Chain A
């Protein structure tokens, strides 16, 4: 009896994690940064699964680790609640709504993509989408306070990808390695000086 009750409670927490993140996944348009305040409201204020300060840590790590922000946050919070199992349940919850919706659209849209009305609508939409991608470039450049060197790095990255078809992966790896090597050398010299 006790065992059954315990089992039921355990099941409940997983179901709870799943529904909570599924809800977040289903109702947030616009990806990671738009999702953050909603995750905070659900997880910190409503469920009280973690406190405000810990949530800030979760965000900081999730932002600096590679991957999709919203997914990183769900993995992290799921893990803190119920270990690896919790993190799997939270992630499945957060990606399932968009998975189902996009799958339906993919199935549907391919058969409608030759429809004249759909073609007209998307002819109007496409240039707008290019503009929507361009907008954060300006905002990010401003908030990152690019100087001549970092600005040149950004421009060189864009040019290498657009005109030379260099994979962004190689650029990330090269810049990251050079930076780490430079920092290592500077640190060693500093250490030797003392």
Chain B
């Protein structure tokens, strides 16, 4: 039963992922944290941190991690990972077959344009939902947040370096 639910959930996430990994976070979070309560907000934040430091797409990373944590075995982990890629498979192969010469992505592009603000809102929500008491335990958390934002936005520090520094700071002050 849990396997079926896991498969279904990640399959749906795969269908509705527009606009890259960060937009996908909002979907995964809504399903995994809010709807099914498979993970807490801070567990989810940890997965994002781990995904940032390891190779591979964030969507795959979270599917693998959530699949394992929820079921406690490799099968669940593989199932979630396959489920999230399956819609892409069906859609891309259909596109390949229908448009042998695939230059007519026009319809897709125009709908992407109108969905872009939604995707931006989704990413903002992904960040907003993670502003919890578990993730922001004191004033230091707020300072780390601001510093990491400045580092990413203006100083163009790589996400990995930011996470490593934040981890070191955590070790020092707590």
A interface residues, Cβ below 8 angstroms from B: 25-33, 35, 57, 60-72, 75-76, 79-80, 84, 87, 91, 95, 97-99, 101-103, 105-107, 109-110, 113, 117, 119-141, 144, 146, 150-151, 153-158, 161-162, 165, 167-169, 171-172, 175-176, 179-180, 183
Contacts and interface: CB of A to CB of B under 8 A. Distances in A.
26 contacts: A32-B57, A65-B92, A65-B95, A68-B14, A68-B17, A68-B88, A79-B93, A95-B56, A101-B55, A103-B68, A120-B174, A121-B167, A126-B46, A127-B166, A130-B135, A130-B136, A133-B130, A137-B123, A140-B119, A140-B120, A144-B120, A146-B120, A158-B125, A169-B16, A172-B118, A175-B115
B25 A103 contact: no
Contacts, number: 340
Nearest to B35: A167
B55 A179 contact: no
A157 B91 contact: no
Interface residues of B, number: 107
Given A103-B68, A124-B171, A137-B123, 12 more contacts: A25-B55, A64-B108, A65-B88, A65-B108, A123-B141, A125-B167, A130-B130, A133-B126, A134-B127, A156-B121, A169-B12, A172-B16
Contacts of A28: 55-56
Contacts of A71: 57, 59-60, 85, 88
B170 to A, nearest CB: 2
Contact of B109 (A64, A150, A158, A183): A64
A19 to B, nearest CB: 15
Nearest to A117: B171
A146 B142 contact: no
Contacts of B84: 68
B1 to A, nearest CB: 21
A11 B38 CA distance: 41
A87 B93 contact: yes
B111 A105 contact: no
B26 A168 contact: yes
Nearest to A119: B174
B162 A128 contact: yes
Interface of B: 12, 14-18, 20-27, 30-31, 34-35, 42, 45-46, 48-61, 64-65, 68-69, 74, 77-78, 81, 84-85, 87-89, 91-93, 95-96, 102-103, 105, 108-112, 114-131, 134-137, 141-142, 144-149, 152-153, 158-160, 162-163, 165-171, 173-174
Contact of B49 (A31, A129, A135): A129
Dominant SS at the B interface? Answer: helix
B55 A168 contact: no
A122 B65 contact: no
Contacts of B147: 128, 131
A175 B111 CA distance: 9
Contact of B125 (A87, A101, A105, A157): A157
Nearest to B62: A102
A122 B21 CA distance: 22
Contacts of B110: 183
A132 B150 CA distance: 10
A26 B15 CA distance: 25
| 4 residue pairs, one from A and one from B, having the closest CB atoms | A124-B170, A98-B56, A157-B121, A67-B88
Contacts of B105: 60-61, 64
